[in-house]
């Protein structure tokens, strides 16, 4: 066909680690687009390493999600045991809320992680990171309370939990 110019060939530019202002000016996208450290996945230099890391991360998320589903189903089917007699009503409230937070976050972490590829936005990791941080805080509180009952009070609550 005469008069129609050929389609331009794509230009593959290596973006420096960390991306930066120049990277966004050239591509219109920041360092989070396309595979981590400055877009190395676009050039193919570390595509297999990035893919392997992403695959391991997804498998880890599924390793958390699948047992959480079974644990919640088990809890719904069998119900809760009565409260330990060593727990006062003042201690039962934080124990209940910590456990509820852990259950919610056991689902929120992997589901927000699986949501990331669907959205494909640079701002999308925020809920996933927030879920990780909240889970870490809830787990630290939970472990702190268990340690208190195991080391300080020595009331056998840990044996009851296991």
Q: Indicate whether 137 pLDDT > 50.
A: yes
Q: What is the pLDDT, as a whole number, of residue 54?
A: 84
First-to-last C-alpha distance (Å) of the chain? 76
**pTM score over 0.75:** no
Q: What 3-state class would DSSP assign to 35?
A: coil
Q: What is the pLDDT, as a whole number, of residue 45?
A: 52
Given pLDDT bands bounded at 50, 70 and 90, which one contains residue 70?
A: very high
Q: Residues 86-119: pLDDT tens digits?
A: 888 888 888 889 989 999 999 999 999 888 888 8
Q: Indicate whether 21 pLDDT > 50.
A: no
Q: What is the pLDDT, as a whole number, of residue 29?
A: 47
How far is 125 from 119, CA to CA, in rounded Å? Answer: 10
């Amino acid at each position: 066909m005469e008069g129609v110019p050929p389609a331009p060939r794509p230009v593959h530019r290596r973006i420096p680690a960390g991306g930066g202002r120049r990277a966004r000016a050239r591509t219109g996208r920041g360092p989070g687009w396309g595979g981590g450290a400055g877009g190395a996945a676009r050039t193919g230099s570390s595509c297999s390493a990035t893919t392997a890391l992403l695959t391991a991360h997804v498998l880890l998320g599924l390793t958390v999600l699948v047992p959480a589903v079974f644990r919640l189903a088990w809890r719904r089917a069998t119900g809760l045991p009565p409260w330990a007699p060593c727990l006062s009503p003042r201690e039962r409230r934080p124990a209940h809320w910590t456990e509820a937070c852990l259950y919610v976050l056991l689902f929120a972490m992997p589901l927000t992680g699986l949501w990331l590829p669907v959205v494909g936005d640079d701002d999308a990791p925020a809920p996933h990171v927030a879920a990780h941080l909240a889970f870490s805080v809830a787990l630290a509180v939970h472990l702190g309370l268990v340690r208190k009952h195991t080391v300080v009070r020595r009331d056998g609550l840990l044996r009851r939990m296991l």
